[in-house]
Structure 1
Amino acid sequence: MNGTADRVAIVTGGSGGIGRAVVERLAADGTAVVVHYAGNRQRAEQTVAEVVSAGGRAIAVGGDVADEQEMESVFDAAEREFGGIDVLAHTAGIMPLAPIAQMDLETFDRVQRTNVRGTFVVDRLAARRMRPGGAIVNFSTSVTRLQIPGYGAYAASKGAVEAITLILARELRGRDITVNAVSPGPTATPLFFEGKTEEQVEGIAAGNPMGRLGEPDDIAEMVAFLAGPARWVNGQVLHVNGAAA
C-alpha cells in the first residue's frame, strides 16, 4: 500500500457536511483529494481553496453521481491531475422524508436513483480503475436499524447500499482493495437539520447515550481509518453513532 502522502481520494458530495469533513481529514493525512460536487460549485471551490491554503492538494469536479459519463469524467480528472485513484469516499446522497403512504413515487424514484444507482455507478468505476491497496468507503445510515417512521425510502436505499458494499468486497478478491460502509447516526449537518424543529433535534441528541449529536469530524475519523491503515477491515458495515442503535 502506498503511504498516505502518495494516495489520491475521490470524495463524492465533498463540498459540505460530512463530505467536507472527510475531505479535510484526508487532506490532513497528505492525501490528494478530488472534491466532487453535484450543484454547488462555489462551495466546492471554497473547500479546495481551504485545503490548498493549508498545504494540501485538491481540485473540484462536478457531476451527477447517477450519470456514468459524468462520473467517469471525475475519475479521469483524478488520474490526470494526481496520477491514479486509491480511495473512494462516497458520501453523496439525498434524504427526502415522508411516510410511505404519503410519499409520491417521483420522490421515491429520485431517492433510489441518487442513493442506489449513484453508489452502483461510482463503485463500478472504482472497481475498474482503483489501484491495488485501495479502499472504497460507501455511506449507509443507522436508520436501517432504527426503523424510524418517515424514513422508509431513505432506509430502503441505504439497505441496498449495504448489499452492494458487502458483495463488492467479495467480488474484488485478489485485488487488495477493501470495501466497507460507514453507517452514521444522527449527525449535525444541514441534511439532518432540514425539516426538524429545535425540540426534535434536542430530543434526538438527548436520546443518545453520549448526550449529543454526532459531528462530521466524528464520521471523517472513521473514513480516514478505512482509507488508510485499516487493511484488515473489509466487507463490513461500521456503525458510527455513539451507540444510538
Structure 2
Amino acid sequence: MTPPPTPGPLAPGSLSGTRALVTGSSRGIGAQTVTYLAQAGASVVVNYRNKAARAEKLVAQLAEAGTTAIAVGADLTDDASVAAMFERARAELGGLDLLVLNASGGMEQGMAADYAMQLNRDAQVRVLRTALPLMAPGSRVVFVTSHQAHFIETVETMPEYEAVARSKRAGEDALRALLPELDAAGVEFVVVSGDMIEGTITATLLERSNPGALATRKEAAGKLYDVAGFAAEVALAAVEPVPADRTRYVGDISSFTG
C-alpha cells in the first residue's frame, strides 16, 4: 500500500493554473518540492538527468492524484538538451509561471575537472535564459543554494565541499547579474539558502569523505532540516513575498554572519 503523501505547506488549489518546472526533481529536495507544488494545484514538469524510472514513477503518482505532470529528461550542461526540455514545456503546458533551479552537483566521481562550474554556474544561466521567453510578467524564479555556498567568500567551509560551494556562489552571482533583465521582463527572483540537509546525496557524500561532518555541523547549527522540511521552504518561496535582498534564509545563519 502506498503511504499517504506528506501534507504540503501550500493550501490545496492555491497554485491552480500555475505551470512549474523544477530542475533535478526525480528525487530528494526537488522531488519533494515538485510534489508540494502539485498538491497545491500546479501543473508540473519533473526534470531528471538519468533517473528516468524515478521520474516516471513520481509523475504517475502525481497524475493519479489529479495533477498534470510530465517527466522530461535533460542534461542541463547541454544547450540542445535544455532547449528540448523547454520546448516540451511550451508544447504541453503553454509556458511557465515558476522555475525552480534546484539541480546541482560537483561531488560526483568521474566527471570533468570543471564539472561543478559547468553545472552550478553555466547551466543555471543557460536554463534561466532558455526559460525566460516562456515566462510572463509575474512569473518567478527560485534558486536553491546552501549557506556554505552563499557565504563562502566570508566563511570557510569543509575542504571536501569548497569547490562545490564556490561554484554555487558563482552561479548565484551569475544569476543576480541577470536581475536587470528579469526586472525588465517582470519576472521575480529569489534565492533560498539552507544549511546542510539531512538525507540528501550531498550530505551522504560529505559524510563518506569526512565522517562525522554532519554531526559536527548539526551541533553547531542546533538543528538541520530534513528533505521534506527544506522542500517546504522552497515551495513557500514560490508564493511568499520576495525579501528586499532577494534571499530567503532557512534556519539559523548566526554561524555565518556572527
TM-score class normalised by the smaller sequence: 0.7 to 0.9
Letter of the structure 2 residue corresponding to residue 175 of structure 1: A
Residue 235 of structure 1 deviates from its aligned partner by 5.9
Post-superposition offset of 1:128: 2.6
Aligned residues: 234
Structure 2 gaps, min length 5: 1-13
Gaps of 5+ in 1: 99-103
Whole-angstrom CA distance in 2 between matches of 1:131 and 1:242 = 34
2:124 is aligned, of 116, 119, 124, to 119
Distance verdict in 2 for CA 1:97–1:10, change over 3 Å:
closer
Give the structure 2 partner of residue 101 of structure 1: none
2:176 matched residue in structure 1: 166
Match of 2:115 among 110, 114, 119: 110
Report what 1:134 is aligned to.
Answer: 139
Under a length normalisation based on structure 1, what TM-score does the superposition of the two structures give? Answer: 0.86
TM-score, normalised with respect to structure 2: 0.82
**1:50 aligned residue:** 61
1:209 and 2:218 correspond: no
Shift of residue 194, structure 1, vs aligned partner: 1.9
* In 1: Cα distance, 2:108 partner to 2:95 partner: 38
Q: Distance in 2 between matches of 1:191 and 1:50?
A: 26
Partners of 2:116 and 2:163 within 8 A in 1? yes
- Which structure 2 residues correspond to residues 1-20 of structure 1 after superposition, within 5 A? 4-20=15-31
RMSD between aligned alpha carbons? 2.3
Which residue of the partner structure matches residue 233 of structure 2? 222
The amino acid of 1:166's aligned partner reads R
CA–CA separation in structure 1 for the residues paired with 2:56 and 2:108: 29
Q: 1:217 to 1:242 in 2, by over 3 A?
A: farther
Say if 1:13 and 1:228 are closer, same or farther in 2 by CA, change over 3 A: same
Residue 147 of structure 1 and its aligned partner are, at CA, apart by: 1.6
Structure 1 CA distance for aligned equivalents of residues 121 and 216 of structure 2: 30
User: Which secondary structure state, in structure 2, belongs to the residue aligned with residue 132 of structure 1?
Assistant: strand
- Letter matched to residue 163 of structure 1: D
Name the amino acid aligned to 1:199: G
- Closer, same or farther in 2 for the Cα pair 1:8/1:87, shift >3 Å? same
Moved over 4 A (4+): none
By how many angstroms is 1:37 displaced?
Answer: 0.2
C-alpha distance in 1 between matches for 2:90 and 2:25: 18
CA distance in 2, matches of 1:193, 1:150: 12
Deviation for aligned residue 1:195 = 4.5
Deviation (angstroms), 1:169? 2.3
Could you say which residue in structure 1 is the equivalent of 2:43? 32
Question: 1:90 and 2:95 equivalent?
Answer: no
Q: CA deviation at 1:50?
A: 1.8
- Supply the distance in 1 between the matched residues of 2:177 and 2:244 (Cα, whole angstroms): 11
Structure 1 CA distance for aligned equivalents of residues 126 and 42 of structure 2: 23
Aligned counterpart, 2:7: none
* Cα shift readout 1:165-200 (whole Å, capped 9, x = no counterpart): 322222222322111221221002122112515633
* Percent of pairs with identical residues: 29
In the alignment, which residue of structure 2 is the partner of 1:238? Answer: 248
C-alpha displacement at 1:204, in angstroms? Answer: 2.2
Q: Deviations over 1:23-60 (max 9, x none)?
A: 11111111111000001100111111221222222110
Select between 198-207 and 137-146 the one with higher mean Cα deviation. 198-207
State the alpha-carbon separation in 2 of the partners of residues 30 and 205 from structure 1. 34
Structure 2 CA distance for partners of 1:228 and 1:134, relative to 1, 3 Å: same
Letter in 1 for 2:126: V
Are 1:175 and 2:185 an aligned pair?
yes
Q: Distance in 2 between matches of 1:97 and 1:129?
A: 32
- Secondary structure at 1:172 match in 2: helix
Contact kept in structure 2, 1:134 and 1:227, CA below 8 Å: no
